[in-house]
Structure 1
Amino acid sequence: MTTATLSSRSAQTSLPDGVSRGSPEYRRISFALFLAGFSTFSLLYCVQPLLPEFAAEFNIGPAASSLALSLTTGCLAIAIFCAGALSEGAGRRGLMFISMMLGALLNLIAAFSPSWSALLVARALEGLVLGGVPAVAMAYLAEEIDHRSLGFAMGLYVGGTAFGGMIGRVGMSLLTDLYSWRTAMAAIGVIDLLAALGFLWLLPPSRRFVKKRALGLGHHLAAWGGHLRHRGLPLLFLTAFLVMGVFVAIYNYATFRLTAAPYSLSQTQVGLIFSAYLAGMAASPAAGALADRFGRAPVLIAGILTAALGVGLTIATPLPAIISGIILLTIGFFMTHSVASGWVGRMGSAARGHASSLYLLAYYLGSSVLGSVSGWFWEHGGWAAIANFSLMLLALTLGVTMYLRHLVQTKTVA
């Protein structure tokens, strides 16, 4: 055993108690991380409704315009994988603040980019710097919050990501209609600069973080390998991969379905469907609180079943049934993500930053890989094929979760 490991364990035995729900510190931490989630996801998804605007202004095709989002999420996935490891030696709070500030500034640069290539460079860099928030936020909460109060705090953070994702989509559509896409992107950048300052003011310095020194590549590989050999953690990583893939598949192709006959909705009307994120914002902290009270596995199962019910409803023809299905899917997705992400922080206590980075890597790979694969089902079988593919993925997720519950009941994992 190394001297660094011994000193780390010695420090952990003298750490203060975790912050409990109801205290002023708990409220400050929860709302600061809500701002972090909002900032990250509003910056990430603000370009999604602007893809037609990019195609028209820069004289490019639809596939090329989608690079403004896919390039950012691809860079984000890589950065998340590294940022969690970096935070084990560099600290959590400062890294998150710098990431939020740089992300907002790069969005302002993208808003006024004179060429398509310049905009893509700014968006790629934005994805790289924003990786400092998601993995580190999960690790910070799991570290600073008492484990009996973690679920609600993690749920509020995930609720912030839901609100940010909604504003980044719906708000941009409305601002672009009123002004221009450049003004809309600049407005999001300014709002998120203010969010970063609010985050810094609200978030207390870490009290339970133990800085690990002299962390070489071998240490990080060992930490990642240990998590992958864990009995429970890979099941949570797989859960993130599957449910994110379902969520992206349904949202991506619902737009194509609803703008075509017999619905023929306008882009603005379809965009307003993203207001379903409000349901996700409410469901996330509620699911976390229920997990604190009744256990994580039952709430995780309830979230998967809710998502499956939602997907099933979208197969119906009436528009109200489709919208209701999307709302239920959104609730189920955010319930599942909230509980699973909090559970990762609990299980990965030896190196939370590494555990969080693996979880989020799986999460964004699900978005990229399964979101792309679902396109084949849309082209060859329409909405019924998309829905059946999604239900198959959710059935697999349920099986994974049932096995995880068995491990908990047999006390194989905590």
Structure 2
Amino acid sequence: MIQAHSRDWWRATLALCLGSFTVFVNLYAAQPLLPELRQVFDVSTLAVAMVMAVSTITLAGALLVFGPLSDAIGRGGIMRFTLLIATLCSLLIPFVDNFTSLLIIRAVQGFVLGGLPAVAIAWMGDEFDKRALMLAVGLYISANTLGGIGGRVMGGIAGEYGGWHASFLTVGLVSLVCLAVFWRLLPEAREFKPAPLRLGVALSSLSGHLCNPLLLGAYLIGGLNFFIFINQYSYITFRLNEAPYSLSTQWLGMIFVTYLGGTLGSALSGRVAQRLAQPVCMMLGIGIFMVGTWVTMSEALPVILAGLVINAFGFFFCHSMASSWVSRQAQMARGSASSLYLVFYYVGASLGGFYLEPFWQAADWWGVVLASWLVLSVTLALSLWLWRKEQHSTLVEANS
């Protein structure tokens, strides 16, 4: 298997990080454009949020397809093909002239964007040893954050000077370059052992993962945390677009530079996990996330941005631990197990806006903060439960 810091490890890790960057550039480029799109197409706040929601919900559905499929036919081809189609979608979006067409293309794009996240960590699990896996996953999640930043910043700046059409065109052209490099760098899999694709077996594997409490707990933590995190950013754009801040599209895009906190958090997570149990790391990340959410209640823009940095650090620190925990705990059909984690993750992203909307309508940002704390209290309790389950399992193994 590939060892940490070897030539093949660096090559594969760089390729997968670049692929991850490309996925999230395309997925999140639309987020700083939401206030502009709401005005251009004359739709409501909740309706324009569907530009993000349709992509994340179809992405979640795609994970149930690509994960089991990759266990049968391999993972490299799926990643290459789906990235190509997703890039073409971004190049097509500037030519739409109505809101329905925009939603349809975003839905298709979301589905194909699910190809790489569904199988990337499973690819690592096949090819890397344990230490190499933990270190690579932290870097891979860091690339998620950089893609999220890049898409939003590029989208915001291009949108400021050329409108929303220019935003998607810019992202599409950047994605073409990234795709070419990814295609070149990704090594051929050596340890992958295909399993025949049988619907009954695939459903049985998914059922088995859901019945495994160590996996289900991580699925709920990842899904509920993202349920809050990504939708906080949507509502913060509405807050900062209005008086007294009145930020333009360009500056709304720049607020996503706060994701750099997540880049640091995910990069550090692998090192911290070598000293602390992974569920303890999850609790630490959620606690930091809760503190950051409290900080955003300030009326001062620099303090709000500091709170978003803290949020991103805590969220991605926990996310890195939860996703690598799934890859370690799955005893079979690792691709399906990783995909199922991401199904919970992106379904959470898709539904969080519906949960936060009544709190926003009732109490503006204070309502969003209260709603966030309620959910994060649940994920903190789930992390504590996973830690106790792990301690019990370790004790049983030591006495057997």
- In the superposition, relative to structure 1, how do residues 63 and 249 fare at CA in structure 2: closer, same or farther (>3 Å)? closer
- How many residue pairs were aligned? 396
Counterpart in 2 of 1:275? 257
Counterpart in 1 of 2:108? 125
Whether the 8 Å contact between 2:35 and 2:238 is mirrored in structure 1 is: no
In the alignment, does 2:193 pair up with 1:210?
yes
Counterpart in 1 of 2:279? 297
- In the superposition, relative to structure 1, how do residues 249 and 108 fare at CA in structure 2: closer, same or farther (>3 Å)? closer
1:341 to 296, 319, 323: 323
2:273 is paired with a residue whose SS is: helix
1:147 to 119, 130, 150: 130
RMSD: 2.0
Whether the 8 Å contact between 2:32 and 2:237 is mirrored in structure 1 is: no
What do the CA deviations read for 1:224-261 (whole angstroms, capped 9, x no partner)? 11111112000000101111022023212222333334
2:208 to 198, 213, 226: 226
Whether the 8 Å contact between 1:300 and 1:340 is mirrored in structure 2 is: yes
Q: Which shows bigger deviation, 111-120 or 318-327? A: 111-120
Counterpart in 1 of 2:89? 106
Structure 1 position 54, deviation (Å): 3.8
Structure 1 position 188, deviation (Å): 1.0
1:45 to 2, 15, 28: 28
Equivalent residues in 2 for 1:173-252, closer than 5 Å = 173-213=156-196, 215-252=197-234
- In the superposition, relative to structure 1, how do residues 231 and 51 fare at CA in structure 2: closer, same or farther (>3 Å)? closer
Counterpart in 2 of 1:69? 52
Gaps of 5+ in 1: 1-17
**C-alpha separation between the residues in 1 aligned to 2:323 and 2:70?**
18
In the alignment, does 2:361 pair up with 1:383?
no
**C-alpha separation between the residues in 2 aligned to 1:239 and 1:59?**
36
**C-alpha separation between the residues in 2 aligned to 1:273 and 1:281?**
15
Whether the 8 Å contact between 2:154 and 2:253 is mirrored in structure 1 is: no
Whether the 8 Å contact between 2:9 and 2:132 is mirrored in structure 1 is: no
Percent identical: 36
Counterpart in 2 of 1:253? 235
What do the CA deviations read for 1:181-227 (whole angstroms, capped 9, x no partner)? 323212211211221221121111111111002x2211011101111
Whether the 8 Å contact between 1:304 and 1:333 is mirrored in structure 2 is: yes
- In the superposition, relative to structure 1, how do residues 169 and 261 fare at CA in structure 2: closer, same or farther (>3 Å)? same
Counterpart in 2 of 1:21? 4
Counterpart in 1 of 2:16? 33
Whether the 8 Å contact between 2:15 and 2:182 is mirrored in structure 1 is: yes
Gaps of 5+ in 2: none
TM-score (norm 2): 0.93
- In the superposition, relative to structure 1, how do residues 245 and 121 fare at CA in structure 2: closer, same or farther (>3 Å)? closer
TM-score (norm 1): 0.90
- In the superposition, relative to structure 1, how do residues 304 and 354 fare at CA in structure 2: closer, same or farther (>3 Å)? same
- In the superposition, relative to structure 1, how do residues 382 and 45 fare at CA in structure 2: closer, same or farther (>3 Å)? same
**C-alpha separation between the residues in 1 aligned to 2:24 and 2:229?**
15
Structure 1 position 147, deviation (Å): 1.1
Structure 1 position 52, deviation (Å): 4.3
What do the CA deviations read for 1:275-320 (whole angstroms, capped 9, x no partner)? 0112212221211232244332232221111111111212233333
Q: Which shows bigger deviation, 175-184 or 193-202? A: 175-184
1:129 is paired with a residue whose SS is: helix
Q: Which shows bigger deviation, 330-339 or 257-266? A: 257-266
Q: Which shows bigger deviation, 224-233 or 70-79? A: 70-79
**C-alpha separation between the residues in 2 aligned to 1:55 and 1:257?**
14
**C-alpha separation between the residues in 1 aligned to 2:296 and 2:47?**
29
2:189 is paired with a residue whose SS is: coil
Whether the 8 Å contact between 1:151 and 1:292 is mirrored in structure 2 is: no
Q: Which shows bigger deviation, 35-44 or 268-277? A: 268-277
**C-alpha separation between the residues in 1 aligned to 2:245 and 2:63?**
39
Whether the 8 Å contact between 1:20 and 1:149 is mirrored in structure 2 is: yes
**C-alpha separation between the residues in 2 aligned to 1:63 and 1:375?**
8
1:406 to 388, 391, 396: 388
Counterpart in 2 of 1:315? 297
Whether the 8 Å contact between 2:94 and 2:168 is mirrored in structure 1 is: yes
Structure 1 position 265, deviation (Å): 3.6
**C-alpha separation between the residues in 1 aligned to 2:44 and 2:231?**
21
Equivalent residues in 2 for 1:152-163, closer than 5 Å = 152-163=135-146
2:393 is paired with a residue whose SS is: coil
What do the CA deviations read for 1:161-190 (whole angstroms, capped 9, x no partner)? 111111111111111222333232122112
- In the superposition, relative to structure 1, how do residues 111 and 148 fare at CA in structure 2: closer, same or farther (>3 Å)? same
**C-alpha separation between the residues in 1 aligned to 2:290 and 2:40?**
40
